[in-house]
């Protein structure tokens, strides 16, 4: 959440106040200015922050372990259990590939929506 807040704040900081002034001069109220001017201009920052937060959360296995123990296993916990306790590297590798595929699909969707080109 902190990373998302940081990217949104940086994006809002770069937004010129002249956009809000122009919207007010054209008769838009605060809600309409936010919905039709500020939000569309900050949406790329929101998307990037959401993607970065998603990537960090999908790979996290310590926090769910502390909060939930072994009652409910998430994918990263399952991968660690397969490697650490059972030594089942093929299954752990397959689960890791599934996690990488989910992250790759999320990245491609975000990049396509934001129209990011390859360098």
Per-residue pLDDT of the chain (119 residues; tens, 9 = 90+): 788 899 999 999 999 999 999 999 999 999 999 999 999 999 888 988 888 888 888 877 777 777 777 777 788 888 888 888 888 899 999 999 999 999 899 888 888 888 765 54
pLDDT recorded at residue 62? 77
Give the 3-state secondary structure of residue 6.
Answer: helix
- For 40-90, give the secondary structure using H, E and C: HHHHHHHHHHHHHHHHHHHCCCHHHHHHHCCCCCCHHHHHHHHHHHHCCHH
b vs e for 85-117, b when ≥16 Cβ sit within 10 Å of the residue's Cβ?
A: eeeeeeebeebbeeeeeeeeeeeeebeeeeeee
Phi then psi dihedrals of residue 19, to 5 deg: -65, -45
Q: What is the pLDDT of residue 117?
A: 59
């Amino acid at each position: 959440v902190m990373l998302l807040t940081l990217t949104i704040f940086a994006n809002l900081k770069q937004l010129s106040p002249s956009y809000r002034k122009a919207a007010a001069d054209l008769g838009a109220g605060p809600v309409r200015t936010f919905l039709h001017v500020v939000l569309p201009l900050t949406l790329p920052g929101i998307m990037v922050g959401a993607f970065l937060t998603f990537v960090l959360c999908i790979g996290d296995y310590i926090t769910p372990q502390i909060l939930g123990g072994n009652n409910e296993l998430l994918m990263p916990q399952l991968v660690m259990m397969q490697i650490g306790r059972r030594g089942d590297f093929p299954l752990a590798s397959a689960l890791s590939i599934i996690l990488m595929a989910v992250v790759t699909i999320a990245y491609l969707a975000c990049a396509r929506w934001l129209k990011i080109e390859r360098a």
